[in-house]
Structure 1
Amino acid sequence: MPIKEMRGHTYDVRGVVHLPGGRRIVTCSWDGSLRLWDLESGAQIGEDWRDDEAKKAGVNNMALSPNGKTVVSGCWDGKVKLWDVKTGKVIQRWTGHTDVVTSVCWSADGDRVVSGSTDGTARVWNAKTGETILEIINQDRARVCVHGEILAR
């Protein structure tokens, strides 16, 4: 496949996920949007995905659920958001972090989401209810990074 240049975001692109089937990707940006792209044409599909409640909250990172139906994002406003891949709409907003969410990931079974923040905490969330299952506090407020089943600081 030839290299394609995809233009649209107005600030740094912070993450990319491939959707099942390998023909589409979703990108997230500090401009506060997620965008769906067709890999063959390089064209954006539909409108920008934006949270109506936080239009200026930059999106730091994201991860695709194991079933490919939901994207979780970590944002500048300290929120963790779930997005429906079919509609491009926010379906849940989780609060708990008091600073920028720097990393997010799903558990392999899709039942939990882990987020890390510059507030020095990592949170394990119930993916269905959005309730915090566990909060890990790092006393020196170092950044927390999550990847798969590993938490690191």
Structure 2
Amino acid sequence: MLTKRIIPCLDCDLRVPGGRVVKGKEFKQIRYAGVPWELAAEYEEQGADEIVFLDITASAERRETMAHVIKKTAENVFIPLTVGGGIRGVEDARKVFSVGADKVSVNTAAIKRPDVVNEIADEFGSQACVVAIDAKRRYLREE
């Protein structure tokens, strides 16, 4: 029998000083939902098995990911942390691992440069890298 795991995914917007968890649809009509490390602690208290942080603007803004958010979270939350957004290579992964991440999630970089997944896995182990896929359902009209 498969074990179910509860893994909340927190979309973070770092355009707000310090960063905030946001809720929206297709990154539009964004509403602020809270402080990342506070929400992660609440989820841990409620029994989450892992937390995923996605920095929703890092790749589009071509900036580094949210190391300060991960560091502050890792100081108070003791379940695995996965970090995505702005992970373009081994050095980006190394930076978030050094502040407490357990795993990185690669999205845009995996499309632009598929070898990045193997590079990160070779450096840190295959358990430390996942690929995120943003899928959109499209329906074809019958003609």
- Normalised by the length of structure 2, the TM-score is 0.27
Richer in strand (by share)? 1
Q: Report which structure shows greater RCO (CA 8 Å, sep ≥6).
A: 2
Structure 1-normalised TM-score?
0.26
